[in-house]
């Protein structure tokens, strides 16, 4: 299995707007980190993406702008590709769904399924915009979400709660083209009966136990609700035409964009194979080999695309496999490591409200690696995460510049200052030297394991841990002192410090590809395998970074600064830009928020108590030492709290509101004189204070008071 070819796909960006950092953190940086790591391991991996250029939204926008849809997708296809390139997202191939290969591939796919009678063809009433003379499929209809009440939900999906919808479910539907209330007309479409396929899907998903909990949880809840059939065709003048030669009238009908978009991964792989001069090469990554080898298919996406990649696309592949069992069989996704959403400065990203950081603009202000680092360290892997410019600056200055950059600079400058840029000899290393060399040996596998399990943030932390180790070792060994009193000890320190920088040049490459290249040049480190597509080169591999990559006597090049610190003015400028744009769309937002406030009132004030009642309560500051889910209850959190004078076990029903690991190390407020009680077999020795907001979410009340302090 380890040798099976790996195909990594990243969600096809929709070609009707530029990319923002939320897109990057969701579906593009994670697979780039993963693929670069796999390339450095020397594994057979292909990284495929492309622009999704069909769908109603693009057609609608073209109508509004009075231009051809092709002009819109051409514009954004180019811009998006530039943004990826600037950020160093290194696909093996970046295609587009308006290509001939894609049209042929998706039409053939449809034809096979239609011939095998996989679809149900049904005539039904559909919303029609009489003014624009257009059937209103999915995104042409906007209205109120029946699940969460969000007023601007699309006909196929609510962006607010993620529910999958059909246009007829919307309350107060309106045509997004003319704004008029749509009428009903008859039309015929091909439906994928997901309900029939559900048992097969459930059986298959049950074998994917290593999927992320957020993905399995989401899929499980859809299974509980029961899957319903989904139309795979649309009435629309823009898209891949439903192929001729199938039963029924195909006039004016195109394939549903979520039928053809995932097939876009296949078409793009075909085009890549063509480019490699081996037109059958794509099969190696998509189909089970004759010897039974199954390629590893990985879809990196954001959480809004989970349904399409875990249910609809696999259902299509399964149906295609069954339609012709003698043909090569498609592989099903081995994993779909979907990310949650990235918020910006504590608010939901919103392009319509101007609350977004565009990649092409951010690249004008900061180097690509610095942006990659800031995003990689805050990826929304298990829950929504927040990106703020303040934290970004703190990370870049405090971690990249002060730890990694500083360590590399000290090691190289010292070598130039006292050893003419030549790697000194290691001779009779002391205990500490040996301990550090042994620690170094563990890093490639430790960082690698994090990548293998899609824990990119952990991989970032572990990579920085190696730089920290180097920095601390350099400080503790005091080479500036030993140089006078014990020259060999000094040489040993510098020798080992340089080995760590060389290992860093390999191990930091997935996260910081441009800086890794620069560091490699400074170290004059030849023969390093590259994480770029097709990077072969000679033989320094990921695992070699465990050992000493530099020989004594090796001559270094002159050092240069790896990371410049970010000035306050630079982040201030970004914050101002954000505020200016948000103000421009403020009116719309004020209306929206005012309505939300009416729907969610504050809790009423409780009955009045006397001062004596109040003084009976003994509040104390306490530090959370450990927090974990209660072993026998869904919502309960079990915590160990240090009250200064003693330790307490406290239970709180807040799981799902807070992440246990976020609480650890925080100082909280405890009701210390509450009678203990036992909940589900564990005794709770007090209570923690939480603020409950209007949506019913619990937020811990934190204090700076030291554990044991009274709170009055
Ligand atoms: Zn909703």
Distance of alpha carbon 89 from alpha carbon 37, whole angstroms: 13
CA 149 to ligand 1 center in whole angstroms? 6
Distance of alpha carbon 414 from alpha carbon 85, whole angstroms: 36
Distance of alpha carbon 111 from alpha carbon 269, whole angstroms: 20
pLDDT at 594: 36
Burial bucket for residue 309 (CB in 10 Å: 0-12, 13-18, 19+): buried
CA 168 to ligand 1 center in whole angstroms? 14
- Give the H or E element holding residue 648: strand 647-652
Q: What is the widest separation between alpha-carbon atoms in the chain?
A: 93
CA 599 to ligand 1 center in whole angstroms? 15
Q: Which domains, ranges and CATH numbers included, belong to the chain?
A: 6-108+257-339 (3.40.50.620), 117-254 (2.170.220.10), 342-597 (1.10.730.10), 611-711 (2.40.50.140)
pLDDT at 602: 60
Distance of alpha carbon 163 from alpha carbon 147, whole angstroms: 7
CA 655 to ligand 1 center in whole angstroms? 23
Distance of alpha carbon 26 from alpha carbon 168, whole angstroms: 30
CA 154 to ligand 1 center in whole angstroms? 9
CA 657 to ligand 1 center in whole angstroms? 20
pLDDT at 179: 87
Angle between helices 368-376 and 29-40 in degrees, nearest 10: 100
Select from 391, 403, 374 the least CA-distant residue to 511: 374
CA 514 to ligand 1 center in whole angstroms? 41
pLDDT at 596: 35
Cβ neighbours of 618 (radius 10 Å): 14
- Residue-wise DSSP of 71-114: HHHHHHHHHHHHHHHHHT---SEEEETTSHHHHHHHHHHHHHHH
Regions in the chain scoring below 50 on pLDDT: 1-2, 587-601
CA 652 to ligand 1 center in whole angstroms? 29
CA 148 to ligand 1 center in whole angstroms? 4
pLDDT at 599: 41
pLDDT at 586: 59
CA 392 to ligand 1 center in whole angstroms? 32
CA 141 to ligand 1 center in whole angstroms? 14
CA 457 to ligand 1 center in whole angstroms? 30
What are the percentages of helix, strand and coil residues in the chain, rounded to 5?
Answer: 45, 20, 35
- Give per-residue pLDDT as tens, 532-583: 887 655 578 999 999 999 999 999 999 999 999 999 999 999 999 999 888 8
Contacts of 31 (CB under 8 A, 6+ apart): 8, 9, 10, 47, 298, 300
Cβ neighbours of 339 (radius 10 Å): 27
CA 164 to ligand 1 center in whole angstroms? 9
CA 616 to ligand 1 center in whole angstroms? 45
CA 151 to ligand 1 center in whole angstroms? 8
- Give the H or E element holding residue 186: strand 183-192
Distance of alpha carbon 524 from alpha carbon 527, whole angstroms: 10
- Give per-residue pLDDT as tens, 503-523: 999 999 999 999 999 999 999
Distance of alpha carbon 40 from alpha carbon 535, whole angstroms: 8
Cβ–Cβ < 8 Å for 46, 5: yes
CA 27 to ligand 1 center in whole angstroms? 22
CA 308 to ligand 1 center in whole angstroms? 18
CA 161 to ligand 1 center in whole angstroms? 4
CA 581 to ligand 1 center in whole angstroms? 26
CA 171 to ligand 1 center in whole angstroms? 11
Distance of alpha carbon 455 from alpha carbon 465, whole angstroms: 15
For residue 586, the SS3 value is helix
pLDDT at 281: 97
pLDDT at 538: 54
CA 218 to ligand 1 center in whole angstroms? 15
CA 157 to ligand 1 center in whole angstroms? 8
pLDDT at 607: 64
CA 72 to ligand 1 center in whole angstroms? 29
Place of tokens 């290509």: 99
Cα distances (Å, whole numbers) of residue 174 to 133, 183, 282: 14, 10, 44
Cβ–Cβ < 8 Å for 235, 137: yes
CA 516 to ligand 1 center in whole angstroms? 44
CA 304 to ligand 1 center in whole angstroms? 12
Distance of alpha carbon 640 from alpha carbon 180, whole angstroms: 59
CA 588 to ligand 1 center in whole angstroms? 19
CA 152 to ligand 1 center in whole angstroms? 9
């Amino acid at each position: 299995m380890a040798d099976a070819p790996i195909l990594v796909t990243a969600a096809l960006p929709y070609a009707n707007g530029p990319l923002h950092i939320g897109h990057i953190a969701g579906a593009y940086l994670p697979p780039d980190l993963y693929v670069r790591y796999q390339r450095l391991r020397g594994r057979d991996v292909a990284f495929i993406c492309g622009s999704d250029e069909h769908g109603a939204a693009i057609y609608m926008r073209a109508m509004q702008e009075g231009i051809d849809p092709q002009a819109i997708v051409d514009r954004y296809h180019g811009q998006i590709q530039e943004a990826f390139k600037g950020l160093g997202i290194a696909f093996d191939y970046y295609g587009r769904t308006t290509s001939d290969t894609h049209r042929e591939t998706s039409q053939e796919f449809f034809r096979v399924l239609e011939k095998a009678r996989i679809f149900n063809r049904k005539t039904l009433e559909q919303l029609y915009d009489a003014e624009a003379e257009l059937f209103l499929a999915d995104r042409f209809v906007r209205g109120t979400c029946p699940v969460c009440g969000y007023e601007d939900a699309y006909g196929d999906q609510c962006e607010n709660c993620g529910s999958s919808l059909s246009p007829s479910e919307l309350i107060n539907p309106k045509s997004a083209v003319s704004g008029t209330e749509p009428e009903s007309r008859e039309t015929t479409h091909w439906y994928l009966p997901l309900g029939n396929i559900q048992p097969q899907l459930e059986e298959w998903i049950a074998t994917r136990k290593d999927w992320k909990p957020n993905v399995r949880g989401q899929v499980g809840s859809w299974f509980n609700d029961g899957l319903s059939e989904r139309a795979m065709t649309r009435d629309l003048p823009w898209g891949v035409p439903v192929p001729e030669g199938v039963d029924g009238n195909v006039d004016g009908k195109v394939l549903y964009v979520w039928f053809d978009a995932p097939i876009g991964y296949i078409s793009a792989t075909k085009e890549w194979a063509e480019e490699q001069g081996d037109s059958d090469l794509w099969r190696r990554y998509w189909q089970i080999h004759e010897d039974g080898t199954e390629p590893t298919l990985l879809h990196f996406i954001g959480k809004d695309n989970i349904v399409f990649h875990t249910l609809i696309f696999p259902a299509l592949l399964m149906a295609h496999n069954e339609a012709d069992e003698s043909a090569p069989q498609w592989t099903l996704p081995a994993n779909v490591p979907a990310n949650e959403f990235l918020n910006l400065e504590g608010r939901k990203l919103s392009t319509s409200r101007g609350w977004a950081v565009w990649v092409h603009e951010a690249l004008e202000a900061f180097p690509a690696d610095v942006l990659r680092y800031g995003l990689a360290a805050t990826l929304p892997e298990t829950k929504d995460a927040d990106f703020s410019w303040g934290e970004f600056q703190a990370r870049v200055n405090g971690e990249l510049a002060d730890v990694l950059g500083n360590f590399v600079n000290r090691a190289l400058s010292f070598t130039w200052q006292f050893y003419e840029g030549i790697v000194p000899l290691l001779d009779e290393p002391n205990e500490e030297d040996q301990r550090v060399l042994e620690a170094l040996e563990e890093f490639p596998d430790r960082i690698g394991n994090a990548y293998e399990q899609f824990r990119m943030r952990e991989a970032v932390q572990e990579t920085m841990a190696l730089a920290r180790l180097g920095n601390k070792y350099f400080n503790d060994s005091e080479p500036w002192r030993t140089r006078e009193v014990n020259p060999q000890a000094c040489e040993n320190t510098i020798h080992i410090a340089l080995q760590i920088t060389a290992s860093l040049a390999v191990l930091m490459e997935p996260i910081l590809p441009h800086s890794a290249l620069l560091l490699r040049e400074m170290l004059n480190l030849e023969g390093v395998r590259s994480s770029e597509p097709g990077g072969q080169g000679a033989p320094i591999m990921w695992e070699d970074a465990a050992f000493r990559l530099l020989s004594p006597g090796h001559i270094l090049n002159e050092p240069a600064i790896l990371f410049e610190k970010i000035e306050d003015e630079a982040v201030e400028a970004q914050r101002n830009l954000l505020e200016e744009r948000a103000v421009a769309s403020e009116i719309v937002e004020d209306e929206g928020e005012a309505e939300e406030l009416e729907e969610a009132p504050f809790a009423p004030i409780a009955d009045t108590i006397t001062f004596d009642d109040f003084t009976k309560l003994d509040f104390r500051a306490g530090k959370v030492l450990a927090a974990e889910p209660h072993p026998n209850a869904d919502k309960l959190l079990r915590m160990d709290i240090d009250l200064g004078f003693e330790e307490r076990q406290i239970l709180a029903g807040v799981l799902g509101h807070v992440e246990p690991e976020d609480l650890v190390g925080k100082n909280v407020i405890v009701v210390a004189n509450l009678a203990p009680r036992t909940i589900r077999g564990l005794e709770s020795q007090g209570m923690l204070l939480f603020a409950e907001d209007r949506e019913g979410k619990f937020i811990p009340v934190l204090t700076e008071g030291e554990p044991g302090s009274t709170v009055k």
